[in-house]
Chain A
Amino acid sequence: MVKLSKMMMKNIEGIGKTLSEILVCPLTKQPLRYCEKTGSLISDEIGVSFPVVDGIPCLVPKDGKILEDEGSSISGGLASSSDTKEVKE
């Protein structure tokens, strides 16, 4: 219970309820995911993370960082099919 309330606090400290309801990725207009570990907002579709500075999300495209190898689901069907091949081998 304590953990949960702490998480809630963190989320509110993170970006706040109002913002988490209305903010989307500036480029794809798809929902953003709040990453607690890095404290950033992640747009999964294009694999870009936007920083949150002092509780202010920075959603200018230039502020975004491309997630190189992890946490991006950009590699959709093609990549996963090649993955499975390699796993089989």
Chain B
Amino acid sequence: MRALNSILRRNSSSILIRAITKHSRSSFCTDNVDGLSNSRVKIFDRDLKRKQRDRAAWLARLDDSFISSVADNLLDRLEDCKKSFPTALCLGGSLKATRHLLRGQGGVEKLIMMDTSIDMVKSCKDAEKDMPDQNVETSFFVGDEEFLPVKESSLDLVISCLGLHWTNDLPGAMIQSRLALKPDGLFLAAILGGETLKELRIACTVAQMEREGGISPRLSPLAQVRDAGNLLTRAGFNLPGVDVDEYTVKYENALQLIEHLRAMGETNALVQRNNILKRETALATAAVYQSMFGAEDGTIPATFQVIFMTGWKEHPSQPKAKSRGSATVSFQDLQKQFGSEN
């Protein structure tokens, strides 16, 4: 009753509330129309990416060997940890494959799956009953990696399999993941690296130069390997680890490659993209791809560089570098200590 009273009373001051809501509306909107937070660089169109992922939810196949091997490789890292991770959050990207391949690795009891696309989350939820490992309690929600709606220190593990390279603010997303982790929690991510689709990049450039006399960004900029380590340190993770794997996928033709990219939801989502792709240019790109990179058996290879990142949230039990000047033995004496054996 009291609440109702306050609601009624608040009606009289609705102008004030409206003024405040107007302010809060601009601050929560991801679209910076009014330029309030101009400092944030906007490279990717997150709304478009969401739609592309909606489409990918319908196109994706569970037997996608590239996705499966990346997810398998990522989850394999959990085997190397002595620790178990009861509560895990799986950020966007290839959710289904991650769920499918999580066969009790890391002792995950509760798996929370998140994506920006509701269709993707729904299809994961529908596929839940067909999953091999039924001991895991799963929950689902729709969220944005850039605005992670997870309570501080509530997770043991954050996995992201091929999703984070579409975030505008990758350090921010990683910092939020770190905050969501419990102390000694693990952050495990696979992102596509700069060498990815280098053949397509070249083919697009050559074909566009030839047909249109200029180029427009067709492929998104991706993180380089050296950036990955910096990102982990910048996000405040301890014991950062980065390693790279290159996968070469063979396709019958360039159009099949594009179909695969669509099914993965990895198509162009740059803000500055060119909305028009002429049929002629598209076909020219396919032809250039075939002639420049085509193998003898008629297939075309496409390179995918995957950067795997691991980082731990700080905890007193983790090894730490000693402070400067705390050494008691000189480096010169090392020779005396160990050198005599040689």
Contact = CB atoms under 8 A, between A and B. Distances in A.
A86 B151 contact: no
B142 A18 contact: no
Contacts of B143: 26, 59-60
A86 B12 contact: yes
B9 A87 contact: yes
Given A53-B118, A70-B7, A19 B16 contact: no
B20 interface: yes
A22 B142 contact: no
Contacts of A29: 149, 151-152
Interface string B58-90: 000000000000000000000000000001000
Given A62-B29, A69-B11, A79-B13, A26 B144 contact: yes
A27 B13 contact: no
A71 B10 CA distance: 10
Contact of A72 (B9, B17, B144): B17
B147 to A, nearest CB: 4
Contacts of A25: 149
B98 to A, nearest CB: 17
Contacts of A56: 118, 121-122, 125, 140-142
B150 A24 contact: yes
| Chain A interface extent, by class | 35 or more
A29 B141 CA distance: 16
B175 interface: no
Contacts of A79: 10, 13, 16-17
Interface residues of B, number: 44
Nearest to B144: A60
Given A56-B122, A57-B142, A60-B116, A78 B16 contact: yes
Contacts of B118: 53, 56, 58
Contact of B149 (A24, A72, A83): A24
B236 to A, nearest CB: 17
A86 B30 CA distance: 37
A61 B142 contact: no
Contacts of A83: 6, 9-10, 12-13
Given A46-B28, A61-B28, A61-B29, A23 B17 contact: no
A66 B21 contact: yes
Interface string A42-68: 000011100001111111111110101
A87 to B, nearest CB: 7
Contacts of A18: 87, 110, 112, 137, 139
A21 B6 CA distance: 28
B25 A22 contact: no
B14 interface: yes
B112 A70 contact: no
A73 B115 CA distance: 29
Nearest to A27: B28
For B21, B50, B121, B144, the residue with the greatest tally of chain A CB atoms inside 10 Å of its CB is B21
Interface string A5-31: 000000000011011011111110101
Nearest to A76: B20
26 contacts: A15-B141, A18-B87, A18-B110, A18-B139, A19-B112, A22-B112, A22-B154, A22-B155, A24-B151, A26-B147, A46-B24, A47-B24, A54-B125, A55-B140, A56-B122, A56-B141, A57-B142, A62-B29, A62-B30, A66-B24, A69-B11, A70-B10, A74-B20, A79-B10, A83-B12, A86-B9
